[in-house]
């Protein structure tokens, strides 16, 4: 969840939403409208320092100084199966990654299923098998579950909400508010694969494209980075809904820094770039499910980059930019033609039901 | 989740479900069909000792001997508001209670929202405010959340999946498999209020009835019991979907004991009894959301009963039966007319979308 503007964080009762009275698809975009809904509607009544931190997981202290990262993600992707993955793999990886983005070791997941009456059991079996394959790869256990059934027409096949718990090793101090001027920004690989793969899988485009979702558990990649240095990794975040642009804006805002990225350094696979060009999409705003952004001390950036490149899902990692003092809360991009442009957060809805 | 028959627990890949190929409403009943679905479809691929224990929360050990209870519940209740509560209060209490049923102190919740396009924002605000009221009453924090929006027609207003984490105090050893012959069975109050309140709220019955849902957080009640004795409380469980009959059957099966209850001791409010009589429902199978069953050492049962009666939601607690050696895995009821009958688990679906 996003950080809260100061005027809202102090309120203890829900505020009116003067400009909207009904939920629209854009409220699920992960971009500005989602942030607005969260800041205005969810945070005021539920306000507490853990939620307000606005990171991918809540970080809590339990007895004897053990820190836990706790996260949740509802998954409503359509279609349920797409090249490179399915809703089951997505549900496991999405939550594993949110926990890992706090530098935590994900250990346990829960899964709540909402099934539509009439769902084929064989399809559900495939989804559950896929969850187990992903859980095994990540090294986590699904330790609790719940199943509800709703009447035909009241869900779209099935929805899965996963939650995850992990322990944060001593010395790790990662969060969206911890980027510092001078830090280096690393991206673990090409962007836009997941969003485009799901879009193409819907079969509504009138053309085919060979794009696979990147959906993957990133906890082993994070572990490799932490083996290089625990204290020098300041921010980790996976650019899912809203894409890289939205994630970088969240960090710039939370850390009150300026972020500069270099267009020529940002990897986009040719097939993804081609689909984006046809449809008028900017890959900076397209969802990823197996990529992360790491903001790290300049002094150790090369070593951390090498450690990422040595892992399964990080072979194509690159440095894409740096953190500056100014302009605060802004993301700038140096374009391939030499100009500089502001990169804003996703404003409305680009691709509904992407995760 | 229910315990797994031995032949399934050893399998590592999904088994075919020869007698069903599509999900039907009964798979969400909490009764036999739900147990069957879980045992055949979910447990084989996801199998691990924590899930297999079949309790209301998974119990895990993290570093330095700290034990956590972790649970999840998807909430799809219809209508969203009903006398005594709403989906928000239900989502918080349901998960708080599942964590408390392991003798744990619930600390942190997560909430995943699936919102239907077109949902009134004022309605969502009421639900979130209700969640916060319930969370405050229980003394828990909502530390992570997620919001997805699906197109109109792909959800019924909103669904909320909550997960919870709590710490288990040293000396507590509670679980569905721990009932012992000689133990006393305590019920914390009258049964059937929630199910009947929701049913009446649907307005389809052609009559009115003054029944309020009992939806409430039971963690303070559990705390009061544990203050009397940690080691003498063997089983705690809240009889939600499937009702008291299903819960007692689960325990009889998990503990491999016989359970005897006395019909005359089981409290049912007159209005609930009246609606059940008109509709041909047995209150033993109707859902509760603010009641628990405690199975405790005979020697300390009176003290524990007193401690429950001194709490807000336990004033009407009573002893309803006892645990025996035989018949194993069976629940028997001594009826008011002096006969004995077998009380089976709920078999199909009685009231869909009850929680």
Q: What would the pLDDT profile of B198-242 be if each residue is shown by its tens digit?
A: 999 999 888 889 999 999 999 999 999 999 999 999 999 999 999
What percent of chain A has pLDDT above 70? 94
Q: What is the pLDDT of residue B2?
A: 33
B19: pLDDT confidence band, cut at 50, 70 and 90?
A: low
List the single range of B8-17, B75-84, B242-251 with lowest mean pLDDT. B8-17
> pLDDT per residue over A35-77, tens digit each?
888 888 898 999 898 888 888 888 888 866 789 999 999 999 9
Q: What is the pLDDT of residue B11?
A: 33
Q: What is the pLDDT of residue B328?
A: 96
Across the range A240-252, mean pLDDT stands at 96
Taking 70 as the threshold, does the pLDDT of residue A18 lie above it? no
**CA–centroid distance for A235 within its chain:** 13
Paired strand residues for B286: none
Q: How far does the CA of residue B261 sit from the closest CA of chain A (Å)?
A: 28
List the single range of A113-122, A173-182, B40-49, B320-329 with lowest mean pLDDT. B40-49
Contacts of A143 in chain B (CB under 8 A): 48, 50-51, 58, 60, 70
Q: What is the pLDDT of residue B55?
A: 87
Q: What is the pLDDT of residue A206?
A: 86
H or E segment to which residue A301 belongs: helix A301-309
Q: Do B63 and A352 touch (CB under 8 A)?
A: no
Cβ atoms of B217 and B98 within 8 Å: the answer is: no
Cβ atoms of B237 and B222 within 8 Å: the answer is: no
Q: Is B161 touching A (CB cutoff 8 A)? A: yes
Taking 80 as the threshold, does the pLDDT of residue B15 lie above it? no
Query: Quick one: CA torsion of A173, A175, A177, A183, rounded to 10 degrees?
Result: 70
Taking 80 as the threshold, does the pLDDT of residue B156 lie above it? yes
Q: What is the pLDDT of residue B3?
A: 31
What per-residue string of b and e applies to A140-172 under the rule 16 or more CB within 10 Å gives b?
bbbbbbbbbbbbeebbbbbbbbbbbbbbbeeeb
Q: Do B147 and A27 touch (CB under 8 A)?
A: yes
Question: What residues contact residue A338 under an 8 Å CB cut-off, 6+ apart?
Answer: none
Across the range B97-125, mean pLDDT stands at 96
Burial (Cβ within 10 Å: 0-12, 13-18, ≥19) of residue B349 = buried
Is the model more confident about A252 or about B4? A252
Q: Looking at the predicted complex, does its ipTM rise above 0.90?
A: yes
Sign for the pseudo-dihedral over CA of A75, A78, A80, A82:
negative
Q: What is the pLDDT of residue B302?
A: 98
Q: Is B28 touching A (CB cutoff 8 A)? A: yes
Strand segments, DSSP code E, in A230-317 are 233-237, 258-262, 293-296
Cβ atoms of B350 and B246 within 8 Å: the answer is: no
Taking 90 as the threshold, does the pLDDT of residue A16 lie above it? no
Nearest to A223 by CA among A142, A308, A289: A308
pTM value is 0.93
List the single range of A103-112, B29-38, B245-254 with lowest mean pLDDT. B29-38
A19: pLDDT confidence band, cut at 50, 70 and 90?
A: low
Taking 60 as the threshold, does the pLDDT of residue A29 lie above it? yes
Across the range B288-313, mean pLDDT stands at 98
B51: pLDDT confidence band, cut at 50, 70 and 90?
A: confident
Across the range A226-241, mean pLDDT stands at 97
DSSP of B99-119: HHTTT-EEEEEEEEEEEETT-
Starting at the edge strand found earlier in the chain, the sheet holding B67-75 runs B58-61, B67-75, B158-167, B105-116, B141-150
Across the range B144-164, mean pLDDT stands at 95
Distance CA B203, CA B195 (A): 14
Q: Do A70 and B143 touch (CB under 8 A)?
A: yes
Nearest to B190 by CA among B267, B263, B284, B305: B267
What percent of chain A has pLDDT above 90? 79
Query: Quick one: CA torsion of B57, B354, B295, B341, rounded to 10 degrees?
Result: -130
Taking 80 as the threshold, does the pLDDT of residue B318 lie above it? yes
Residue in chain B nearest A156 by alpha carbon: B154
Partner residue facing A66 (CB), from B63, B129, B150 = B63
DSSP of B63-84: GGG-EEEEEEEEE--SSSEETT
Q: What is the pLDDT of residue A220?
A: 98
Structural Rg of chain B based on CA atoms: 19
Q: Is B80 touching A (CB cutoff 8 A)? A: no
Partner residue facing B144 (CB), from A71, A75, A112 = A71
The Cα-based distances of B151 to A77, A174, B125, B158 in angstroms read 12, 36, 20, 12
Is the model more confident about B301 or about A62? B301
Q: What is the pLDDT of residue B1?
A: 34
Q: What is the pLDDT of residue B7?
A: 32
Q: Do A148 and B74 touch (CB under 8 A)?
A: yes
Cβ atoms of A152 and A117 within 8 Å: the answer is: yes
**CA–centroid distance for A93 within its chain:** 10
Contacts of A34 in chain B (CB under 8 A): 147
Taking 90 as the threshold, does the pLDDT of residue A152 lie above it? yes
Task: Give ∠ CA A166-A172-A173 in degrees, rounded to 5.
Answer: 105
Across the range B114-118, mean pLDDT stands at 95
Q: Is A8 touching B (CB cutoff 8 A)? A: no
> pLDDT per residue over B336-352, tens digit each?
999 999 999 988 777 88
Computed over every residue of chain A, the mean pLDDT equals 92
Q: Is B72 touching A (CB cutoff 8 A)? A: yes
């Amino acid at each position: 969840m996003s950080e809260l503007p100061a005027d809202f964080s102090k309120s203890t009762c829900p505020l009116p939403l003067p400009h909207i009275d009904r939920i629209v698809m854009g409220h699920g975009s992960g971009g500005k409208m989602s942030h607005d809904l969260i800041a205005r509607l969810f945070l005021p009544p539920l306000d507490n320092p853990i939620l307000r931190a606005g990171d991918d997981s809540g970080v809590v202290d339990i007895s004897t100084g053990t820190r836990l990262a706790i996260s949740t993600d509802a998954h409503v992707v359509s279609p349920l199966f797409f090249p490179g993955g399915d809703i089951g793999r997505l549900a496991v990886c999405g939550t594993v990654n949110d926990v890992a983005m706090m530098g935590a070791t994900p250990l346990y997941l829960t899964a709540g299923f909402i099934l539509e009456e009439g769902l084929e059991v064989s399809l559900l079996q495939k989804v559950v098998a896929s969850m187990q394959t992903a859980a095994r790869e990540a090294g986590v256990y699904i330790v609790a579950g719940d199943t509800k059934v709703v009447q035909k027409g009241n869900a779209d096949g099935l929805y899965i909400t996963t939650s995850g718990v992990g322990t944060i090793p001593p010395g790790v101090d990662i969060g969206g508010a911890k980027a510092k001027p001078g830090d280096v920004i690393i991206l673990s690989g090409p962007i836009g694969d997941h969003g485009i793969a799901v879009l193409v899988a819907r079969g509504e485009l009138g053309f085919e494209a060979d794009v696979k979702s990147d959906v993957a558990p990133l906890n082993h990649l994070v572990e490799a980075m932490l083996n290089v240095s625990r204290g020098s990794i300041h921010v980790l975040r996976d650019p899912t809904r809203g894409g890289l642009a939205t994630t970088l804006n969240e960090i710039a805002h939370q850390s009150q820094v300026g972020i500069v990225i270099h267009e020529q350094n940002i990897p986009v696979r040719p097939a993804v770039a081609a689909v984006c060009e046809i449809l008028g999409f900017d890959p900076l705003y397209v969802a990823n499910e197996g990529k992360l952004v790491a903001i790290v001390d300049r002094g150790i950036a090369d070593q951390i980059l090498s450690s990422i490149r040595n892992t399964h899902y990080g072979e194509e990692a690159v440095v894409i930019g740096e953190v500056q003092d100014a302009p605060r809360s802004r993301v700038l991009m140096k374009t391939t033609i030499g100009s500089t442009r502001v990169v804003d957060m996703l404003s409305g809805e680009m691709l509904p039901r992407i995760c």
